[in-house]
Structure 1
C-alpha cells in the first residue's frame, strides 16, 4: 500500500508544548507467571492515528484492552486526557472500541445498529436521529440506513461498525484488526476511507494490527511490539527507513542483513567489513559505533540493483558478484534471489520498466548486485 499524504502539518510528538492525550506509564500486565505486556511507556497525541503493530503474542491486543478498561494493569498507570483511568471501568471511560468481528445485530437495520448505544445512554430521540443521520452520511451509508447487515458487503458492514463507534463521540477510538475480514483490494480502499474519516472527525484513533502494510498506510506513527515490549516507535517512514534493531528491520518489509565488523568510523561515513558479501560495506552517514564493533548492515531489496554489466573485484565497495537462482515476476516489479559466491543469498527487487519478454536477466545469469552508500543502515541490536 502507498501511504497517503496526511493533511496535518504539525507533528505534535515533536512539539515540546504539546501534552500527550494518552499517556501509558510503565505498564505491565501478567497472567499468572506469563508477562503479556512488559514495562511499556508510551505517549499518544490528540488526533493521531496510532498503530500498535506486532505478531501473535506481542502484547498489542492486551495493551489495547487495558486502554479500553477490559483488562487492569498489574503495574503502572494509564491516563486519557490527563485523567488517571487505571481503575475506571470500561463504561465510564471516554473510549469506544471497534471489534474485529464488527458484532452487528442481525435483526436490526443499519440505523438501528448505529443508534443502539445512544438509546442505551437515553439520548433524546430527536438528537439520536440527527446524530445517526450525520454519521451515516460521514461513512457514506445514508442510502443503506434501512438495510439489515446480511444485505451489506463486508466493507459496508465495517463502516456500520465504525459509524456505531463514532456516533457516541468518544475522545478515543480503539480499533482491533479493523480490516482483517476484507479482501486485499477492499482492504486498501477502506484503509484510505478510514484515514479520511479520522481526519474529518478529529478523534484520536489507536489501532491494533499484525499487517505491516495496513499500519504503514494508515498511521501517523507506529509502535512495533515484540514479546510484550516496544521495539521502536516512529512514523512509517522512520520505522521502515531507519529500523532500530534487527527485529524491526526484519518485521517491517523485506530486508537483507549482512553481519560484519566496523573497520572505519568517521562523522560522515562508516565502513563495515563483511565476510558474507566479500566486500566492504560503505555507509555514507555516521553512527555512534566504535571501530571493531560487531554490527549488521540492513539494506532493503528495492535499494539494490542487479545488472550483467560491470564487475566487482577485490577492494570493491557495495558491489558483489553472484548467480541468479530464482525470479518472481509480480507485474510492476520483479524479485531476484541471487546466490553470492560466498554462499549468502541476496534478495533484490527491481521495477519492470520493460515487458517481461524483454527482461535482460534470467535464471543462472552471472550478475553484479550493487547499492548506493545511502542505502545501508547500521544496526547494533
Structure 2
C-alpha cells in the first residue's frame, strides 16, 4: 500500500525520501497476471506447466476475457454500474472473485506480454510503455511498436497459446481486427487462430463458439474502450461509467453462452487513477531543470518512469531525483529495482539495458511526472496508471463456471 510521506524531526520542509524497499511488490509466482495462463493450461494437461494460483480448479474449456483498464478497486467502487461483475466478487452470493497483481509497471504492453507468455517483465523484456533500446540508444514504444524492431528478437520466448496449440488444445484469440497482425500480438498473444470481430457483442458470441469448438479449448478475448474512456475523461466521468456498464453486459452475455465443462475468467491489465491538472499533482519534466540535469532520455510514463542518465551521471541523477520527488515516489537505481524484485525473480541479460538507470514509481495516487513538450498526448490524459499502488496494480479475477 502507499506509504505516508516521512518528515525529518525539526525540519518540516525537508521530507525524507521513501525507501524503495517499501514499495508493495506484485505477487509474482502465485498471484500475478503472469501466473494465470500457466495455471489454466496446467489444468488442461499441457506439458511443462504447473498450477501457480491455487484457488483455480481445472476446466476443459477456458476463456479469458481481458478488459483493458478494469481495476479491482474500480469494480468494487461501482456496484450499480457493474451488477454482474459485482456478483462475482468474493463475499457476494456465490462469488469467488479475488484480485491478481498486474506486475510492474502496470501498463498494457507489459501486462499483455505477462499474460501471454506467462513470464515476468524481466524475462519477456517489455518492462515499460517506452524503454531504451540498447542497440540503438533510442526509445522504443512497446505498445505502438515504434520504431519498428524485429519482434522475435525483442521477445524470443514462445507464448502459452503457442504451446497449448502444439499440445492439442483448440486455441483462439477473438479481438478487434486492428490487432490481427501487430507485433505485440505476435510476441504476446499469438498461437492457434486469430479472429477479428468489430463489436464487443460479436466478440462475446464468437468467443463462446470457439470455446465450444474443442473438447479442450483456450480462448482469449479483449475489450479496450474502457481504458480509452479512462485516459481521456477519467474514472470519475460519466463516459467511463457508461463503458463499465457496457463491459458488465458483455461479460454477462458471454457467461450465459458457456458450453459444458467451461470456465470464464474476467480480468484486466491494470487499474487507473485520475491525476488533477495542476502543478502540485503534475510535475513537468520538460520544465524542471533539476530533474533534467544529467538525463539523456526519459522513458516509461507519468506514474512509472525509466530515467536514462548521461554516461557517468547515473549517481548524480539518482541523488537528484530522490531529493526532488523522493517523498512521493519510490526512486531506485536499476540494480536496486532489479534486486528488490520489481520486474520479477530475474532479469534477462538482453533486458537489463532496457531498464532505466533510475526507476521511479509513484507512491501517491494523485501525482505524475509528465513531459508536456515531448509527450503532449500522454501529458493531456486525465486517467493514468503504471505504478505499484493498489488502484493500479490490483486487477480482478472473476470466475464463472458451467
Check whether TM > 0.5.
Answer: no
Name the larger-Rg structure: 1
Higher RCO (C-alpha 8 Å, min separation 6): 2
When normalised by structure 1's length, the TM-score is 0.28
More strand per residue: 1 or 2?
1
When normalised by structure 2's length, the TM-score is 0.27
More helix per residue: 1 or 2?
2
